[in-house]
A and B are shown apart, each in its own frame.
Chain A
Amino acid sequence: DIQLTQSPSSLSASVGDRVTITCRASQSIRRYLNWYHQKQGNAPKLLIYAASSLQSGVPSRFSGSGSGTYFTLTISTVQPEDFATYYCQHSYSSPRTFGQGTKLEIK
């Protein structure tokens, strides 16, 4: 099974900061990598698919990059509504797996 490792596990930031979360795969997944965020009490929301494609309706301050085994999610200017837990997930094969999550907190 493909393992995904996110870093950091938690992150403190201020509104307006630029933040980057990384996701490393245990083997190449080409560009089959997606990013989600989840706010307390809500279902996850797709932000980025296929490593760098912005999901419809998602603000352009979110961007993704990478291929193979190394991927990043960047928020260019953190907004108050961005404080949440972020997950990466691969769609390269079954079983699909998720990273362990990165909690973005207010500094």
Chain B
Amino acid sequence: EVQLVESGGVVVQPGGSLRLSCTASGFTFDEYTMHWVRQAPGKGLQWVSLINWDGGTTHYEDSVKGRFTVSRDNSKNSLYLQMESLRPEDTALYYCVRGARGDGTKEFDYWGQGTLVTVSS
């Protein structure tokens, strides 16, 4: 059974830093691109970042470029999101999401339950 379990969400002050983690199981982690998607309270879904299977390619949503860094450790089946210079508008539930396998077209087929980040003084 595929499982994605996020952790690390807390209340943090504006300007602060935080690292989110996602531990994957039930599939061959290093064959898949992985994504972070967030959802502000009562709002829609917003894609945040992706990292390809070996970490050699990363992409970010414009509002987090230069502040967030996605990484992975395939030996630990883990995905990370390092968040710096946090802003109140970064407050959201952050989901770890499985992407495509290799050059496949199917992505976002498995989601974690999310970890809540609250940026507030």
Contacts and interface: CB of A to CB of B under 8 A. Distances in A.
- Chain A interface helix/strand/loop/mixed: loop
Interface residues of B, number: 21
Q: How many interface residues does chain A have, given as a range?
A: 20 to 34
Contacts, number: 57
A36 B46 CA distance: 13
Interface string B20-50: 0000000000000001000000001111001
A101 B44 contact: yes
Q: Which of B46, B59, B62, B107 has the most CB of A within 10 A?
A: B107
A43 B62 contact: no
A87 interface: yes
Interface in B79-121: 95, 100, 105-109, 111-114
Interface of A: 1, 32, 34, 36, 38, 43-46, 49-50, 53, 55, 87, 89, 91, 94-101
